[in-house]
Amino acid sequence: MNNWTTPHQKNDSGSVWKENNVIVMQEQNSAWRTILPLGTRLCLEKGQRLIESLDDACFSFLNKGLIRLSSLGENGNERIFLLIGAGCIFNELGCMHMAPLSTASFLAMEPCEIYQFPSSLLHDMQFAVEHPELMMNLVQSLMLKAGAFFGQIEERAGLSPEPLVCRYLARLQSEGTKTLQPRFSQSDLALALGLHRSTVCRILHDLREKGILGEFTRTRLEILNRDELLRLCRMG
């Protein structure tokens, strides 16, 4: 995506970057802070989940903290889709369609301050007339999320677990660099890719047996044979 930035860079509409193969958004909807008095304040502790439903449909604005959006696949594996930072709206997609309830949930990664708004606000013509800048901002952030989600789907389409893992590892490595500091564990890798931990462990074991990988810890990852790793990336 052309408008991704690093965590320390910001454009006019906030920051978006990838961290451990997960998209992170921050301050994309900061303009909505002007109407926080219209919302209902809610605080979450670290580790607490917020599960939205169609019965009490609402969308939320994260004023402080970090929220992880994840979902359970048909195989029971959890997949992380998005990390939502302060200044961002979430669950607006659930308020805009009548699809069956999904398995998506929002997990507080740190203490969070949230303001919830009724879904009816998104269909209120008077609100749109009074706050056109907020509606335009929402449309822009929705386009950004749609592009990000489509990229994730496209990236996984038709790939079996082994080339999926290899493609992820190859993307981390710069040309000529054999030792990396990944800052994630094998369990984190499984979550990011939506694979079972035992599947990822088996693939990593096979890569070590083939002499493609060396040590793999949270602080050290050795890629010993980049050419062979790239070859496996192309295998479906």
Residue with the bigger pLDDT between 208 and 21: it is: 208
Q: What number is the average pLDDT over the span 189-218?
A: 88
**What is the model's pLDDT at position 117?**
95
pLDDT over 60 (residue 17): yes
**What is the model's pLDDT at position 29?**
96
15-156 and 161-233 share one CATH topology? no
Domain boundaries, the chain: 15-156, 161-233
> Rounded to a whole number, what is the largest CA-CA distance in the chain?
64
Q: Residue 1 and residue 22: Cα distance in Å, rounded?
A: 13
**Contact (Cβ atoms closer than 8 angstroms) between residue 183 and residue 189:** no
**Global pTM value:** 0.64
Write the CA distances from 80 to 126, 191, 205, integer angstroms.
36, 6, 24
What topology is assigned to 15-156 in CATH? Answer: Jelly Rolls (2.60.120)
22-26 and 78-85 as β-strands: parallel, antiparallel, unpaired? parallel
**What is the model's pLDDT at position 232?**
87
Q: What is the pLDDT of residues 50-106, one digit of tens each?
A: 865 444 578 999 999 999 988 766 556 677 888 999 999 998 887 766 454 456 789
What topology is assigned to 161-233 in CATH? Answer: Arc Repressor Mutant, subunit A (1.10.10)
Q: What is the pLDDT of residues 163-177, one digit of tens each?
A: 888 888 887 776 556
Residue 117 sits at φ, ψ, to 5 deg, of -125, 145
User: To the nearest whole percent, how much of the chain has pLDDT over 70?
Assistant: 78
Q: Residue 152 and residue 146: Cα distance in Å, rounded?
A: 10
